[in-house]
Amino acid sequence: MVEYRFPYKLRDGKTFPMIPVSVGYGRKRWDIYALLDSGASISLFTRELGEKIGLDIEKGIKDDLGGIGNWYGCI
């Protein structure tokens, strides 16, 4: 197994493992930090980021996602 180490960043008084990623659509690209969740099956980003890079959010597929203890309706 390969081991990776990422720095933790302070946010809202708590520390989280944040990794630098580049996201984009078409010719628009943004370098951001994303929360690392090694147990997640998918990655989620904010609506604002999707709109900023040019995605048509309203044309997305709506799906129900779950986590430990809660269910959320997400697009």
At 57-72, the pLDDT tens digits run: 889 888 877 766 554 5
- Tens-place pLDDT, residues 6-53: 888 888 888 888 888 898 888 888 898 888 777 777 778 888 888 888
pLDDT for position 36: 78
Strands (E) in the chain, as ranges, are 8-11, 14-25, 28-35, 63-66, 71-74
Among 5, 26, 8, smallest CA distance to 17 is for 8
Residue ranges per structural domain of the chain: 8-74
Among 32, 34, 30, smallest CA distance to 17 is for 34
Quote the tokens at residue 2.
């390969």
Q: How confident is the model at residue 74 (pLDDT cuts 50, 70, 90)?
A: very low
Reading across the β-sheet that carries 28-35, which strands appear in turn? 8-11, 14-25, 28-35
